[in-house]
């Protein structure tokens, strides 16, 4: 194992192993933590990987502890990698007012261009390039990748897939921020990370990118009808309309009675894992 990888936790789960590592990130200029679940099949040969991107205020731990994904991942023989949601450390700038929706825990999976955030906030490069290269070099995994996420992480999963034809074999999302250019969370983050030029913002907006996607991976999205963020922040209807206009294959399901929580994610995570398994194991 690379001396740059420090094992900080290890737990047996459904015959496989959930492990957490710390390493020095070149993209973000700080130490980063990520989790990996290796199914039992990884003991006899390399397995494909689902990358999970978490939402605002989360870390790698939320999904791994609350979603209940390990049982089906173990059955299918799929590894899961969950990075943190932003750079962290004493030198990493946070929201000046200490708000939860920007800065630490809220990297938005973009490459910041505006000071002081451009020194550390390169989560897009981290999750699409640096982390997969590290994982594929040091763990028993293949280069067949899928990507999914929740809320801010759902936004991240969509833009990573739409911007990188050929890098992933499948994509899905729970409650994604579908049109960050037009919601308060996204306008704050894109404005501070990228500046005032809205043309630059469009490169990080799934509802804009879906029409330009160079690859039409079938898309699965689940959204809860009782999600308190639906109308103001998530704007799911924008993605529905954009997918129809682009004739992009998309299954976007409104799940009656569900909210924004991990109770919702745990209820439908098996559907998403099997969606990805069909592509990863093809």
- Per the structure block, which two tokens stand in for 62? 């939320």
- Per the structure block, which two tokens stand in for 75? 């059955």
SS3 annotation, 6-37: EEEEEEEECCEEEEEEEEEECCCCEEEEEEEE
Sheet-wide strand order for 219-224 = 6-13, 16-25, 30-38, 79-83, 47-53, 141-149, 170-174, 219-224, 250-255
Q: Alpha-carbon distance 109 to 105, whole Å? A: 11
Is cis: bond before 116, omega within 30 of 0?
A: yes
Q: Alpha-carbon distance 258 to 153, whole Å? A: 18
Question: CA separation (Å) from 204 to 77, 135, 140, 236?
Answer: 32, 25, 32, 16
Catalytic residue among 227, 272, 275, 276: 227
Catalytic residue among 151, 170, 172, 207: 151
Helix segments in 8-119, DSSP class H: 60-66, 70-76
Catalytic residue among 150, 260, 275, 276: 260
Active site annotation includes 227: yes
| Cβ atoms 161, 168 nearer than 8 A | yes
Active site annotation includes 151: yes
SS3 annotation, 230-264: HHHHHCHHHHHHHHHHHCCCEEEEEECCCCCCHHH
Q: Which residues are catalytic?
A: 151, 227, 260
């Amino acid at each position: 194992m690379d001396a740059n990888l420090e094992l900080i936790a290890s737990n047996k789960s459904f015959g496989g192993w959930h492990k957490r590592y710390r390493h020095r990130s070149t993209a973000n200029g700080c130490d980063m933590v990520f989790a990996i679940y290796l199914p039992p099949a990884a003991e006899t040969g390399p397995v494909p990987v689902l990358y999970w991107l978490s939402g605002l205020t989360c870390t790698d731990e939320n999904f791994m502890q609350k979603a209940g994904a390990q049982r089906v991942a173990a059955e299918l023989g799929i590894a899961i990698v969950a990075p943190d949601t932003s750079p962290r450390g004493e030198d990493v700038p946070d929201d000046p007012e200490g708000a939860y929706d920007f800065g630490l825990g809220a990297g938005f999976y973009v490459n910041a261009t505006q000071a002081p955030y451009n020194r550390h906030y390169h989560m897009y490069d981290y999750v699409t390039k640096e982390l997969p290269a590290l994982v594929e070099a040091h763990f028993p995994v293949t280069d067949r990748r899928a990507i999914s996420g929740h809320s801010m992480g759902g936004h991240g999963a969509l833009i990573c897939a739409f911007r990188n034809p050929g890098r992933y074999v499948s994509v899905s999302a729970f409650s994604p921020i579908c049109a960050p250019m037009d919601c308060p969370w996204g306008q704050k983050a894109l404005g501070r990370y990228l500046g005032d030029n809205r043309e630059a913002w469009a490169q990080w907006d799934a509802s804009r990118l879906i029409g330009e996607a160079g690859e039409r991976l079938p898309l699965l999205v689940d959204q809860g009808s009782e999600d308190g963020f639906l109308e103001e922040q998530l704007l799911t209807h924008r993605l529905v309309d954009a997918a129809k206009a682009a004739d992009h294959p998309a299954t976007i399901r409104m799940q009656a009675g569900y909210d924004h929580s991990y109770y919702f994610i745990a209820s439908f995570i098996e559907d998403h894992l099997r969606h990805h398994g069909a592509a990863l194991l093809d």
